[in-house]
Amino acid sequence: MRRILTWTLVLAAAAFLAYTLVPQLSELRTSLVRVSWLNVALASMAAVPMFALKGIYHLNLLDRLSGSRTSRRHGLPIYLQAQIVRYLPGKIWGVVYQAQRMTTTNRATDVVIANLWQMATTNLLAVGVVSSVLLAFRYSLAWLLLLIPVVIAIEWLHRNPTIESWAMHRIHRLSPRLMPAPPPARLPPMPIKGSAILCAEWVFYFLAFFVFLHDRSSWHETIMSAAWYGGASLIALLAFVVPAGIAVREAIFVGSPQIAGLDAATLAVTAALARATFFFAELVVAAVSTLFLHGRHRDHS
């Protein structure tokens, strides 16, 4: 059933993209010709810190769940490798890969919970960022103030782990197959750097868009495109059986050209460039961490 659903979603999304883009083939070709692969490469380098920060936040969350510090040299490369695995068989197998590779240092249940809770926390912030930016640049910059209560809410969760522990236990009771049993003891607070890391990720996210869309769109269009791509990524999470939301995310992004104020052809190329930029950045950060961190960890062992 999972395979049937996966292929149904992918084929439906691909068919929608074809239906939308066929009438704009000439615009699509023109937009493709203007692609600067140097800018894509530079954008990937700009996005590398974003994925490194995701890994650091994840290990901080694992520390809180396990009650002991996880080796960064061992854990960071494995987490980043798992993000590549999710492109192949799917998100779930990325978590399975990480859990199996970290069995000597962390409980599998802690790895699963850390991934689920990180997704929930980062997506909560993402909803705030995407909503405030889209509303601000569509209507009034005053909507950017919406970010303040969102960031405060994230920090409040981090500083009040009773709420986190309650939510984890509640989800486990409602859906034990989704959420394993969390540790019985209350989680320690997340250091303030946790919220700073989550916010910093978005700086590098928008920076990557500005680099690979340099000379292709105005700064206003770039911000709207970046924000709406983030929104499409959030919606595509519903199609969790599709590896990395391939085609589904792009169909959602291209299907609403009025949000970013660009035509479907331009959005399609933007989506392809974003996918290439972030995937290459993940490959780079995973490879570098594996060579320099995991290699040193093995030598030390």
> What SS3 state is found at 185?
coil
Give the least confident one: 12-16, 123-127, 152-156, 242-246. Answer: 242-246
Tell me the pLDDT band of 299, cut-offs 50, 70 and 90. very low
Residue 242 has pLDDT above 70, yes or no: no
Query: pLDDT at position 31, please?
Result: 86
Tell me the pLDDT band of 67, cut-offs 50, 70 and 90. confident
Give burial (CB, 10 Å; 0-12/13-18/19+) of 277: buried
Q: Are 223 and 214 in contact (CB under 8 A)?
A: no
pLDDT in tens, 2-27: 778 777 888 888 899 998 888 888 88
Q: Are 247 and 292 in contact (CB under 8 A)?
A: no
pTM for the structure as a whole: 0.90
pLDDT in tens, 125-141: 999 999 999 999 999 99
Percent of the chain with pLDDT over 90: 52
**Angstrom distance (rounded) from CA 47 to CA 221:** 19
Residue, of 10 and 222, whose pLDDT is higher:
222
pLDDT in tens, 91-120: 778 888 999 999 888 899 999 999 999 999
Q: Are 287 and 81 in contact (CB under 8 A)?
A: no
Query: pLDDT at position 68, please?
Result: 87
The mean of the pLDDT values for the chain is: 88
Nearest partner of 97 among 238, 243, 197, judged by Cα: 243
**Angstrom distance (rounded) from CA 220 to CA 116:** 33
When pLDDT is averaged across residues 182-199 and rounded to a whole number, the result is: 89
Percent of the chain with pLDDT over 70: 94
Structure tokens at 258: 């009025």
**Angstrom distance (rounded) from CA 170 to CA 161:** 14
Tell me the pLDDT band of 301, cut-offs 50, 70 and 90. very low
